[in-house]
Structure 1
Amino acid sequence: MEAKERIVVALDVATIEKAKELAIQLHPYVGAFKIGLELITSEGGPEVIRHIDDVCGRYYFAGKWEGNPSQIFYDGKFNDIPNTVAGAARAVTRLGVKMFNIHCLGGVEMMSAAKKAAEEEASLRKTPRPLILGVTLLTSLDYQALEELDVAPGWYDRSLKEEMIQRMVRGLALAAQKVGLDGVIASPQEIKLLRQWCQPEFLIVTPGIRPLWAAAGDQKRIDTPSAAIKAGADYLVIGRPITQPPKEIGGPIEAVKKIIEEIEVVV
């Protein structure tokens, strides 16, 4: 996999116009675009996908997809009863996306239902099934956040706190692997451990990526692009460092080129 193919740009914007503007600039330099809840809710997922597909040279004709492969990561983070998530999985498979995600905390039955529904829909339409990724623990959550939710004891020392986070991520990842999901979304801190726990072909998609020249923002468990790839990540989800880079870096294209250079050093 080329360095640029590992980069997933998070289009965390409110309008199709802004998403298209970024996609037009960046699609030659990256592997995928993540459309998340803000854009899905404000503009509608299918409409956003149609516009991004058009930019990337992909279209639906005579009942099948033509042109380039999909570059869409549908970040819907489905989490509901199994029947509801199965319906959502069918719907997003019909949209022909590259990958989508579901919360591992929804349980084994829910994850299994999503995979089965996506497989059935893909088979019916004679199209590739999207990659299905399990969300383990959001990168905005640290141990203190779990304490505030009263799901973790406050008296643990630091080493035990780190161990508990790791146990949670391990359990969720192994459950996702067992039901046949293609991979998980996990923070940079868990990559090496996931590579030990899971099969080599099990994908690791990592948000919380911040080059040294970028601000951390609201992410808690972060690392640099080169460190994440070196640890074993397959894809890196990167938003603001690319879409809103510091002035001294330049624009989005300059930012993504710097990240590609950083990745190429370690692959």
Structure 2
Amino acid sequence: MALVPADRVRFHVQRLPATAQAAAADRPVVVFLHGLVVDNLSSFYCPLAVPVARAGHEVVLYDLRGHGRSDRPATGYDSRSAVEDLFALLGALGLGQRPVHLVGNSYGGTLALHAALARPGRVVGLTLLEPPLGGAWVENMLDTLSAAALSLEDSAVPAELLTLRLRKAANLTAIADDLLNRTTLIDDIAASRTFTPADYAGLSCPVLIVCGEHSELVPGARELALHAPRVTAIEILPGLGHDVLKESSGALRAAVLAHLDAAAPATAAARPRAGALVT
């Protein structure tokens, strides 16, 4: 693990080399983008990142601006800045010319989609896990984050957690307090632009969408599949909600590895079936 400076921010990064003997040198780099506030790169490590590397794909994980061990500046939490952060970081890692396949969980899926629309020449594949795509999600998330900010402001909870020797929980709570009460994160999300059918129609890369059966985000995923020309599948995982990354490692891993192999330019033997649904 290392702190890598890019775009005036130091990002906490972990790289996993492709370990399969048959790894293709021209495969895209697989970059993982995590969710908001209490999430970080570690959520991907065992469920997906290590298996993806063992299957022959070079992997990059990093803590988004303000999250985990990355720097926490006061501003720059909008989607445009996140996309700039991503490609600045890849440049700093010497990967500025490599194609990438983005795997985004929750809000990370939203950022992955923004990146694919902004840099279609670089993003050659998308895997979106529980991506929040509609305007209703933004409103609900803003309410949730605002309530959390109020509860954490001047809270004694981090100190109490440390007293109980719950260091990890204390650290996550302190990070959440900083993000919500001392940065522009909430305002930046409030100002975010909602995706349109025209955006989806402009996607040029293969897309896999994975949602839980009981997730409120399924309708937005189906809307994306309706308009995007190269959605290979929507995987609907039974019995789950917004927790597919944590609770369905086996089925999720199989779906993601199959999609990576099919989407990689070096291994794809045929074009994906647009709009296919797997339930």
TM-score range, shorter chain: 0.3 to 0.5
Identify, as 1 or 2, the structure richer in helix.
Answer: 1
TM-score when normalising by structure 1: 0.34
Give the TM-score taking structure 2 as reference length.
0.33
